[in-house]
Amino acid sequence: MRQRGMFISLEGIDACGKSTLIRRLKAVLDAEGEVICVREPGGTKVSEQIRDMLLDVRNHGLLPRAEALLYAAARAQLVDELLLPVLAEGKLVLADRYLDSTIAYQGQGRGLDEDYLDHINRICTGGLIPDLTLLLDVTPDIAAQRKRLQGEAADRLETEGMAFQTRVREAYLRLAQAQPQRIAVIDASQDEDAVLATALELIKARRGEK
């Protein structure tokens, strides 16, 4: 796939610190050229509407296969409407979640078949794979503690509980082991400054390779 910009995704279990890291990365990297930040599901008008549906706690009857397809629909819209055009313009994209979330949450979390999920990921991304994925690894215990400190209400997926988050974390670590050339694991139990410094080093190294 032809792209001139750089595409970085950030992954991890709920409350692993992705959003904070993205905000801080943008503040640093904007000095070197425009940085576009997106979140998944979301990032376009249609994808944000799909997000509302997916995270609504009233939709507890949503079936795993339907859930997977809704995430894929939001992603397809994001790729064509926003990601491909801005990457073609040479911009740097920071995505708060992308295709690995589907494997971790709908695969290991919900128990859907991974080949099926790989297939729908191929369809919705059109083959657009991140140049680098930063996996913020933290135990579900620490993540839950952070969440409580922030005092935020849980969304539909966050109400799934510890066993679910543990399975999701294991899936992420397995993906990172299988694709070390793309996925870098960062110990997200460290303080924010240390996480930022590690992330910047990894991005700099990958930029040098491109």
Binding region for ligand TMP (CB under 6 A): 14, 39-41, 71, 96-97, 101-102, 105-106, 157-158
**Looking at beta carbons, which pairs linking 159-162 to residues 24 or more positions away fall under 8 Å?**
159/57, 160/109
Rounded to a whole number of angstroms, the minimum distance from the CB of residue 204 to ligand TMP is 25
Buried b (16+ CB within 10 A) or exposed e, 100-121: bbbbbbbbbbbebeeeebeebb
- Residue in the shown chain whose Cβ atom is closest to ligand TMP: 105
Rounded to a whole number of angstroms, the minimum distance from the CB of residue 192 to ligand TMP is 17
Residue 194 token pair: 């240390």
Rounded to a whole number of angstroms, the minimum distance from the CB of residue 92 to ligand TMP is 20
Nearer to ligand TMP, 132 or 136 (CB): 136
Rounded to a whole number of angstroms, the minimum distance from the CB of residue 179 to ligand TMP is 17
- DSSP-assigned letter for residue 31: G
Say if residue 87 is exposed, middle or buried (CB neighbours under 10 Å; 0-12, 13-18, 19+): buried
Task: Determine how many CB atoms are found less than 10 A away from the CB of residue 62.
Answer: 14
Nearer to ligand TMP, 22 or 84 (CB): 22
Nearer to ligand TMP, 92 or 136 (CB): 136
Nearer to ligand TMP, 96 or 131 (CB): 96
Nearer to ligand TMP, 157 or 207 (CB): 157
DSSP for 141-200, please give it.
HHHHHHHHHHTPPP-TTGGG-HHHHHHHHHHHHHHHHH-TTTEEEEETTS-HHHHHHHHH
Nearer to ligand TMP, 91 or 156 (CB): 156
